[in-house]
Chains A and B, each alone.
Chain A
Amino acid sequence: MLRIDPDTTGRGPRTTAVRRGTAGWALLGSELKVLFRRSRTWAMLLALAAIPVLIAVVVKIASSGPDPGEGPPFLDRVSQNGLFAAVTGLVVSIPLFLPLTVGVVAGDTIAGEAGLGTLRYLLAAPAGRLRLLAVKYAGAAVFCLAATVSVVAAGIGIGAALFPVGPVTLLSGDTITPGESLLRLLLVAGYVSVSLLGLSAVGLFISTLTVVPVGAMAATVVLSIVAQVLDSLPQLEWLHPWLFSHYWLGFADLLRQPVEWGSFVDNALLQAGYLAVFGALAYARFARKDILT
């Protein structure tokens, strides 16, 4: 049944009065809802959480621990202190699993909406092209944090369940309490999340170029791998400080006493640079794009 309500058929004065300057944040809230109501998002977060769990379980059931220096960094420490399951989980996830999930979310931002056809309705609503880009990027950034936190949280949980948790000896030789080391873990999670912001900006830009979300996702993930390969070639040393992946594994300075902020700041500046450049490119492209899906 189609029911006609005379109050809402014409442009009522009631709504004209209310429709001013409200709900500036509603689109971001809605974006996060859409992101976190998708089963795909939760599947990726669960897969990330499974990595430290897998590591901890393997270490637990192996009869002899690995020799120091064998396997991923910090692996030999997991059995002595469960908190290292989180750090090891991060180190293992950074080269592939984190960029993979971030690439999926960032590559999907605009192209996913275009593919569904919802982009035309968002823009006709009107969301505004700049506002939509900003909200989409903010959503991807929140996902970066969620992804990192799910690795760290799962690592802490499984580490505490399977191994003793005690004072942590830092890389500088100082010892800190478990409470303090939780804070350090949060700091590391923040560092890794920030590291992924440049890649998210690249993904956002690629996402404005196509209406096929899978293509944008794949291209973003491939770029993250290419950047790491280039970063490993000594012949290209001049290029290394400019690669968004350059500081990805550089959080060791946060595990010293006192904390050395140098690499955190360098990383943040580099990621901000990527955001500025690729954000601008994305806007330049998206602002004049014909929405034909």
Chain B
Amino acid sequence: MTAGAPTAGLAIETRGLTKRFGRQTAVDGISLAVPRGSVFGFLGPNGSGKTTTIRMLLGLARATGGRIRVLGQDMPHSWQDVLPRVGALVEGPAFYPFLSGTANLQRLDAADGRAPSSTRSARAGEALERVGLTHAAGKKVRAYSLGMKQRLGIAGALMLPRELLVLDEPTNGLDPQGTREVRSLVRSLAAGGTTVFVSSHLLAEVEQICTHAAVMSAGRLVAQGSLDELRAAGRRQVRIQTPDGDAARRVLLDLGLAPEPGPGNGAPVTAPLDYHLAPERIVAALVAADVRVRGFSVEATSLEERFVALTGEGFDVAH
């Protein structure tokens, strides 16, 4: 795999993937398309079905309906070929509290029948170093803090080189420094050609590291695409209250904006706003053209607002 260049094809592809728990539909006919080489953000509020989807991708839970292909092969049918190439963190880390960090990593690695025993302890040491846990390698996991366990979980996913990493809320419980470290880790893994599928309910996090995203809401996939595509679907707009409507529209045209043709003077003037044009420049231009500005606002249908709109109330947006 060449560094940085996405390989043709999809790392994850689902068709109509559905999971029902009794009468509740946790995942409702979702069709994911995760391009190889992408960093794919899987967004959604609590209980929207992210973890359930990930469990099905990894063959932990059986789908009620639909098809799954991971790294070009059917899951769960081809788990023996697929899973050794996938590193995973599912719904938080889980370890044997009475074993040390190193022993826990070695235990997980031994579970993969194809992982070479001869390099096991060396690889555990490397993985611990990459997540900054070398100093706690020999400590019992019982004595780890939440963030240390989370780091150890990430180390477990990195014990072997992977083609696909599935990380379910990897920054959960991490301090700001740890969050930054995970971000830079994800970036460099992606630069090395690994596809990273990362679930989160933090939009800010997804915006910073992802090339693509999908949004879940109550078990349904409500949006999917590259980050640019998602942004384009919801632009900001300016809204100007002025008695001089026609003059205002001329100013906006001069600035390269495309104001909506209004009914003339009196009604508010609106125009979609490009990201590179600072709103204060518009105000300055309007004033310079003697437009009487009585109100000026930027209505930000940012990615954030769009996700709030998509997923309804209660969406956890962190800044």
**Interfacial residues, chain A to chain B (CB-CB below 8 A):** 1-6, 8-12, 15, 18-24, 26-27, 29-30, 33-34, 37-39, 116-118, 120-128, 131-132, 288, 290-292
Q: Does B28 contact A (CB under 8 A)?
A: no
Q: Which chain A residue lies CB-closest to B154?
A: A2
Nearest chain A CB to B146's CB is how many angstroms away? 14
> Which B residues lie within 8 Å of A132 (CB)?
111
**B117: which of A9, A22, A121, A290 is its contact (CB, 8 Å)?**
A22
> Which A residues lie within 8 Å of B80 (CB)?
126, 128
Are A291 and B162 neighbours in the complex by a CB distance under 8 Å? no
Q: Does B246 contact A (CB under 8 A)?
A: no
Nearest chain B CB to A211's CB is how many angstroms away? 12
Whether A291 contacts B112 in the complex (CB less than 8 A), given A6-B192, A9-B192, comes out as: no
**B156: which of A2, A9, A23, A121 is its contact (CB, 8 Å)?**
A121
Nearest chain A CB to B105's CB is how many angstroms away? 11
Are A124 and B60 neighbours in the complex by a CB distance under 8 Å? yes
**B62: which of A6, A8, A120, A288 is its contact (CB, 8 Å)?**
A288
Are A4 and B188 neighbours in the complex by a CB distance under 8 Å? yes
Are A2 and B131 neighbours in the complex by a CB distance under 8 Å? yes
Complex: A12 Cα to B58 Cα, angstroms = 22
Q: Which residues of chain B (114-163) have a CB below 8 Å from chain A?
A: 114-120, 126, 129-132, 156, 158, 160-163
Are B113 and A116 neighbours in the complex by a CB distance under 8 Å? no
Besides the known contacts A8-B161, A9-B194, A19-B160, 11 further A-B residue pairs in the complex with CB atoms under 8 A apart: A2-B182, A4-B188, A5-B130, A22-B115, A37-B99, A117-B94, A120-B91, A124-B59, A127-B112, A128-B113, A290-B61
Q: Does B95 contact A (CB under 8 A)?
A: yes
Are B116 and A18 neighbours in the complex by a CB distance under 8 Å? yes
Are B111 and A126 neighbours in the complex by a CB distance under 8 Å? yes
Are B90 and A121 neighbours in the complex by a CB distance under 8 Å? yes
Are A2 and B126 neighbours in the complex by a CB distance under 8 Å? no
Whether A20 contacts B161 in the complex (CB less than 8 A), given A128-B80, A290-B60, comes out as: no
> Which B residues lie within 8 Å of A39 (CB)?
98
From B81-89, B234-242, B273-281, give the one contacting chain A: B81-89
The listed residue with most B CB atoms (<10 A of its CB), out of A10, A12, A22, A122, is: A10
Number of chain B residues whose Cβ lies closer than 8 Å to a Cβ of chain A: 61
Are A37 and B111 neighbours in the complex by a CB distance under 8 Å? no
Complex: A190 Cα to B58 Cα, angstroms = 41
Are B94 and A131 neighbours in the complex by a CB distance under 8 Å? no
Complex: A15 Cα to B85 Cα, angstroms = 11
How does the 8 Å CB contact mask read for B168-198 relative to A, with 1 for contact and 0 for none? 0000000000000110110011011110000
Are B108 and A125 neighbours in the complex by a CB distance under 8 Å? yes
Complex: A8 Cα to B90 Cα, angstroms = 22
Nearest chain B CB to A85's CB is how many angstroms away? 33
Q: 8 smallest A-B Cβ distances: which pairs?
A: A117-B94, A9-B192, A125-B111, A30-B110, A126-B83, A127-B111, A4-B188, A26-B110
Q: List 13 A-B pairs, Cβ < 8 Å.
A: A1-B132, A5-B126, A9-B191, A12-B161, A34-B107, A117-B92, A120-B55, A120-B94, A123-B59, A124-B83, A126-B79, A131-B113, A292-B60
Are A121 and B94 neighbours in the complex by a CB distance under 8 Å? yes
Complex: A118 Cα to B89 Cα, angstroms = 11
Complex: A223 Cα to B169 Cα, angstroms = 42
Q: Does B106 contact A (CB under 8 A)?
A: yes
Nearest chain B CB to A138's CB is how many angstroms away? 14
> Which B residues lie within 8 Å of A27 (CB)?
110-111, 113
Nearest chain A CB to B160's CB is how many angstroms away? 6
Are B161 and A23 neighbours in the complex by a CB distance under 8 Å? no
Whether A30 contacts B111 in the complex (CB less than 8 A), given A5-B130, A11-B163, comes out as: yes
Complex: A127 Cα to B119 Cα, angstroms = 18
> Which B residues lie within 8 Å of A19 (CB)?
84, 114-116, 160
> Which B residues lie within 8 Å of A8 (CB)?
126, 158, 161
Nearest chain B CB to A10's CB is how many angstroms away? 5
Nearest chain B CB to A102's CB is how many angstroms away? 20
Complex: A21 Cα to B117 Cα, angstroms = 11
> Which A residues lie within 8 Å of B132 (CB)?
1-2
Whether A126 contacts B84 in the complex (CB less than 8 A), given A10-B161, A22-B117, comes out as: yes
> Which B residues lie within 8 Å of A38 (CB)?
98
> Which A residues lie within 8 Å of B185 (CB)?
2, 4
Complex: A89 Cα to B170 Cα, angstroms = 52
Are A10 and B193 neighbours in the complex by a CB distance under 8 Å? yes
Complex: A18 Cα to B1 Cα, angstroms = 18
Q: Does B205 contact A (CB under 8 A)?
A: no
Nearest chain A CB to B126's CB is how many angstroms away? 7
**B130: which of A4, A26, A33 is its contact (CB, 8 Å)?**
A4
Are A37 and B61 neighbours in the complex by a CB distance under 8 Å? no
Q: Which residues of chain B (187-223) have a CB below 8 Å from chain A?
A: 188-189, 191-194
Complex: A72 Cα to B58 Cα, angstroms = 55
Q: Which chain A residue lies CB-closest to B191?
A: A9
> Which B residues lie within 8 Å of A127 (CB)?
111-113
**B61: which of A1, A9, A21, A292 is its contact (CB, 8 Å)?**
A292
Are A124 and B90 neighbours in the complex by a CB distance under 8 Å? yes
**B162: which of A5, A11, A33, A116 is its contact (CB, 8 Å)?**
A11
Nearest chain A CB to B111's CB is how many angstroms away? 4
